[in-house]
Structure 1
């Protein structure tokens, strides 16, 4: 019996590590030994990340380098905003590098990274924290399954 390989509809359990160009780890499932489970095509990974997985089988390990546009996108200057300090709670001192949650008019919450604090102006970046970064996607496939056919 041949090993199942990842196809566009596979259910995959895997460990992964995302590394930045300097080798630092941005995210990993290995720290807590909690592998990730995903269904290919469900939107939890970008098409480029999924493309890296196609054809892999259980027990296989690979590392892939993805350019920013294939990983978390390029940094969009339209998502960087200058916010008046008065818009922040009085008991909160925004610090450069901090990630804060901002409420949207529709009630949704959006994380933003404080990029600069200059007097009364706070620069907040609403891009994904890994936008603009070249990422090494290090994968260890644990299991590959095909979803049950629906009748």
Structure 2
């Protein structure tokens, strides 16, 4: 019989925690402190890798706030990820229906069977302009965490 060391967060851990993610100006993006804790499996994309890396090594009961410089948590904005696609491509590949409005976050089926998403910036008679950057790319954020349990 082996003993599993769950005294600290490791890659692949299931972590129950409260967390708050906010912009540098205090605008709150997500806050589990006000509702109920989240349980996340590290390494499967439920948090961005830089945010997951912050959790590695933390112990049950740890509670602090980490300030991340612009672009650290969700990457820098990449102008190559702003792309124009034809309306036909949009209609053939989008997961939602026929109605598209600027500001919509639209999911697409990827060739490998996965999905990816972009924010519709503008649409005209023949094409649509999308921003495939993460909506928080290039932003400074505060990441407050309170570790409740580790499995």
How far has the Cα of 1:61 moved from its partner?
A: 1.4
Q: What corresponds to 2:102 in structure 1?
A: 96
Q: What corresponds to 2:94 in structure 1?
A: none
Match of 1:134 among 111, 131, 140: 140
Task: Give the TM-score taking structure 2 as reference length.
Answer: 0.71
* Separation in structure 1 between the aligned mates of residue 89 and residue 12 of structure 2, nearest angstrom: 46
Match of 2:18 among 15, 18, 21: 15
Task: Give the TM-score taking structure 1 as reference length.
Answer: 0.71
Describe how 1:104-119 pairs up with structure 2 within 5 A.
104-118=110-124
Q: What corresponds to 2:3 in structure 1?
A: none
Are the equivalent residues in 2 in contact too, given 1:46–1:70 (CA < 8 A)?
no
How far has the Cα of 1:102 moved from its partner?
A: 1.7
Q: What corresponds to 2:72 in structure 1?
A: 70
Q: What corresponds to 2:50 in structure 1?
A: 48
Gaps of 5+ in 1: 146-151
- What is the RMSD computed on CA atoms of the aligned residues? 2.9
> Would you say how many aligned residue pairs link Structure 1 and Structure 2?
140
Distance change in 2, residues 1:33/1:88 (3 Å): same
